[in-house]
Chain A
């Protein structure tokens, strides 16, 4: 039997124990529906509030988070999440408004959404924005749907190919795959740019477009970006920008100006919405002029112009050739939009530029400190992240071992084994909210680990050592597939 560090909420249950209780009914009683429509039992836990609080507090301590320390996950932008966001998104006026209320009663919400649309347009250089997509991948799917709808509206029906660089996030091909498109992989050149020759060869009249992350997952800003855009446009394709790496570009360059037609913006990366253990995110999408009519419905707009005495009335509008609705209601309003609005309002144009400049400085500083100890396969000035090789000549230590060993030094490991084009990749994104001391300690730890890899490789193979939990048996999990648990009294019958 495995040792139980923290029992599950089911194991903590005791029949008859009460937690939060509800008031008695204040209306005359009505008979319940006929018995054949009722459930026979409700096998849910029974605990006191204190049991619940202690259980989840203990669980929280098993986590490593941005509030605990440095979290340099590449392409995830684990920056500090300002505490004020947590207060503004919980203001009663936001918390307790129903999505189907008459628009006259939610003008505060609608003004916030309208202004955020305008701000994101200004920051990204796009002509239109939808706030509806719930996450980055959801935004990608929205974008790809619009690209398909655009070609279809022009009766340009033979376009079925999506060009995707080999360094791309997995969501890019998956999004194209959801629409049945075929994916053509475009290699990167030795400087980490899109290979122009390969791109040119792939560009023809069957191309839907290209999905490009710029800076890409190597942290490289494509040195021929204008040429790439030109080639794709020339064959009639559209340029999709994966905005996962927008944290490098605020006030630096607007993707819309460079010629991108559509891009999703991860509010949970660039605009400080916390990641929440994997979600909820928020993934607004910006589009160039020719795609504005295809945006999902509804958008926030002015439905009655104002004048000297009256504020304009904000409401919902449906674009002419809209692809339709991407989710119920209006997007991740409370958790995503309010926090991002708060964050942008506190930065202004100069503050936003600072964010990207310091994010890029921090990445280059770390890259400079590690150069010489770790191989940097694409070694030039990087943007907000860079990729090192987690392997050494003559050693069987792998990127995974280095990642796990970093935990013993109290750091969250970088992204590993991605991008796929780098052998034993360690993808490091420090963000702008780390100070020089932290970066130095992290570089020192990695340099020390490189020494350990030579002198005591077993220390790395078995790492981590100082954490509450060690390496997991992933094969057991996948083979046995224990995916839920039951109340102790139901255990035997269920299992």
Chain B
């Protein structure tokens, strides 16, 4: 298969205009001994053959819609995506355009992202939002960059709750390798029963950022108001990593005083897709906008008096500020921001509240029924949203292996990241899990030897 629309005659005419005899003659600048390597790759397929090959590969997987009952969450959630979302995404005008550098002919992308920014600030209660991050983990790492830039390196400590997603903490450690940071709180062997209060003693005058998750990795809902007050008293910023579905129901991090609210927007209209691409949302206060990474859309007018939108404050970014920029990012996760915007507007306030309520109700039903089984119980007493920790009578890995034989993904094995939680399963329930599925899980676990 080829996508090159040039006939042999046209090619020859073009070569003549250029003044060379053959296509190969265009590459004289390439070192001769390395020129035109033979590539050992499978021969080209036609479209029909490729479609069939990929179909076969996809069918090898067990997926959570057609084959398996799934209670896996831990940062990626199985939600219903209204049909309209993908129909909008499939418009070539959106998905085959580039970053809107030329606003006169990019108002579609620009207004859509401006609306996404507005939807996210209304959701989190913050003042500004970008649409630039690869996922929740990298958005959180960019919050560290923001704080570092804000204090211009004068404060060098971050305090991270051990109940921030383990992979997010790992990404922060990778990202901050060159910054010479002191890290506190990031300890998977800490006492995980205690709430956010345990972090307070770690915050000092050298602390630039405190990072907590809401609900936390174990699904618990904490009110961080007091922690944030204390952190502010020490002059530190606070970043809350939030689940957007939970924010549809819960008090906003802005109301608690958060400076930065980030998270994973995958639950809002983006398929599981085996982990990506997703969308990291990033919202903050207007006073930090100059230190925020990524593309930002602002409202303006054109020379015909029409309201319109442009990329703004671009001098913050790498293409102008180069090595002095807060971040090297040049992505805006535009298409997925569009997905989230269409998701939020097609469900609307009412539909979104229904989604949140279904998640909450079903998760609580599942938690109640599971904890009735002999040997099982809920590990924590705090309120939760749609994810909770189930204590099991044996290692979670064995429970999961047993459930897998019955066509069920039981949840995330917390022993993977927390040595003391070997017998603990993180169970997520969404609107996609029917009562029947939950009852099946309960019945199967009752039968476990």
Beta-carbon nearest neighbor of B169 in chain A: A325
Q: Does A270 contact B (CB under 8 A)?
A: no
Asked if B252 and A39 make an inter-chain contact with CB atoms under 8 angstroms apart, the answer reads: yes
Contact with B along A468-486 (1 / 0, CB 8 A): 1111111011101111111
Say how far A88's CB is from chain B's closest CB, in angstroms: 4
Q: Which of B141-181 contact A (CB under 8 A)?
A: 145, 165, 167-168, 170-171, 173-175, 177-180
Interface of A is mostly: loop
A303 interfacial contact with B, CB 8 Å: no
Query: Closest approach, in angstroms, between the C-beta of A111 and any C-beta of chain B?
Result: 6
CB distance A355 to B4 under 8 Å?
A: yes
Binding-face segment, A196-204, A362-370, A445-453 = A362-370
Q: How far is the CB of B92 from chain A (nearest CB, A)?
A: 3
CA distance A181 to B88 in the complex (A): 43
With a CB–CB cut-off of 8 A, which chain B residues contact A111? 57, 60
**Residues in chain B near residue A380, CB distance under 8 A:** 29
B358–A25 touching, CB < 8 Å: yes
Q: Known contacts A20-B347, A329-B167; is A180 also within 8 Å of B328 by CB? A: no
Is A67 within 8 A of B275, CB to CB? no
How many Å lie between the Cα of A252 and that of B28 in the bound state?
11
B135 x A481 contact (CB < 8 A):
no
Which A residue sits closest to B138, measured CB to CB?
A327
Are A381 and B174 CB-contacts (below 8 A) given A68-B93, A170-B318, A368-B19? Answer: no
B48 to chain A, nearest CB (A): 9
Interface string of B312-338 (1 = CB under 8 A from A): 110001111111110111111111101
Tell me the complex Cα distance, A65–B5, Å.
Answer: 18
* Contact residue among B328, B350, B435 (Cβ-Cβ distance under 8 Å from A26): B435
Q: Which of B110-118, B185-193, B203-211, B228-236 lies at the binding interface?
A: B110-118
Partner of A483, one of B6, B64, B297, B351: B297
- Is there an interface contact between A258 and B36, defined as CB atoms closer than 8 Å? no
Q: Using C-beta atoms within 8 Å of the partner chain, give the interface range for chain B.
A: 35 or more
| CB–CB B347/A19 < 8 A | yes
For the complex, give the distance between the alpha carbons of A329 and B3 in Å: 33
Q: Out of A3, A45, A93, name the residue touching B306 (CB < 8 Å).
A: A3
Contact flag A253-B65 (CB < 8 Å), given A18-B350, A136-B330, A361-B15? no
B20 within 8 A of A: yes
CA distance A274 to B336 in the complex (A): 12
Cβ-closest 5 pairs across A and B:
A93-B58, A329-B275, A99-B275, A334-B273, A276-B335
> Nearest A residue to B328 by beta-carbon distance?
A174
In the assembled complex, the Cα of A219 lies from the Cα of B134 at a distance in Å of: 29
- Give 5 CB contacts A-B under 8 Å: A33-B221, A44-B348, A125-B37, A141-B175, A330-B274
Q: Name the B residues within 8 Å of A34 (CB-CB).
A: 383
Query: Is B194 engaged at the interface, CB distance under 8 Å to the other chain?
Result: no
For B278-319 the 0/1 string (1 means CB < 8 A from A) is 110000001001000001111111111111111011000111
> In the complex, A13→B136 CA distance in Å?
29
Within 8 A of A (CB), among B39-98: 39-47, 50-51, 53-66, 68, 70, 72, 74-76, 78, 80, 82, 84, 86-88, 90-98
B352 close to A (CB within 8 Å): yes
- Pair B122/A328 contact, Cβ less than 8 Å: no
B348 contacts which chain A residues (CB < 8 A)? 13, 17-20, 44-47
Q: Is A135 in the interface zone, CB < 8 Å from B?
A: yes
Bound form: Cα–Cα A464–B105 in Å = 10
Chain A 127-157 against B: per-residue CB contact (8 Å), 1 yes, 0 no? 0000000111110110001001100000000
Stretch from A71-79, A231-239, A391-399 contacting the other chain: A71-79
CB distance from B3 to the nearest CB of A (A): 5
With contact pairs A20-B346, A36-B223, A481-B312 given, residues A327 and B135 touching in the complex (Cβ less than 8 Å): yes
- Interchain CB contact under 8 A, B88 and A53: yes
Q: How far is the CA of A78 from the CA of B93 in the complex (A)?
A: 13
Q: How far is the CB of A80 from chain B (nearest CB, A)?
A: 5
Most buried by B among A94, A140, A480: A94
Given the known interface contacts A30-B361, A171-B328, A325-B170, the answer about A123 and B41 at a Cβ–Cβ threshold of 8 Å is yes
Partner pick for B353 among A8, A42, A180, CB 8 A cutoff: A42
Residues of A within 8 A of B223 (CB): 36-37
**B121, CB-defined interface residue at 8 Å:** yes
> 13 more A-B contacts (CB under 8 A) besides A252-B35, A253-B37, A327-B276?
A39-B252, A61-B108, A88-B58, A177-B324, A178-B327, A220-B29, A253-B35, A324-B174, A351-B2, A352-B39, A472-B103, A476-B301, A477-B300
A55-B353 Cα distance, complex, nearest whole Å: 22
Q: A328-B264, A404-B104, A474-B300 are in contact. Are A97 and B54 (CB under 8 A)?
A: no
**Contact partner, B351, options A18, A91, A412, A485, Cβ 8 Å:** A18
Contact: B96 with A67, CB < 8 Å?
yes
Nearest-Cβ distance from residue B228 to partner chain A, whole angstroms: 15
Q: Which residue of B lies closest to A137 (CB)?
A: B328
- CB < 8 Å: which of A123, A332, A482 contacts B276? A332
B100 engages A92 (CB within 8 Å): no
A-chain residues with CB within 8 Å of residue B68 when the two chains form the complex: 101, 105
CA distance A303 to B247 in the complex (A): 40
CB-nearest residue of chain A relative to B222? A37
CA distance A94 to B107 in the complex (A): 32
Q: How far is the CA of A50 from the CA of B178 in the complex (A)?
A: 50
Q: In the complex, which residues of chain B have a beta carbon less than 8 angstroms from the beta carbon of A251?
A: 36-37, 39
A27 interfacial by beta-carbon distance below 8 Å = yes
- Please state if A328 and B75 are interface contacts (CB–CB under 8 Å): yes
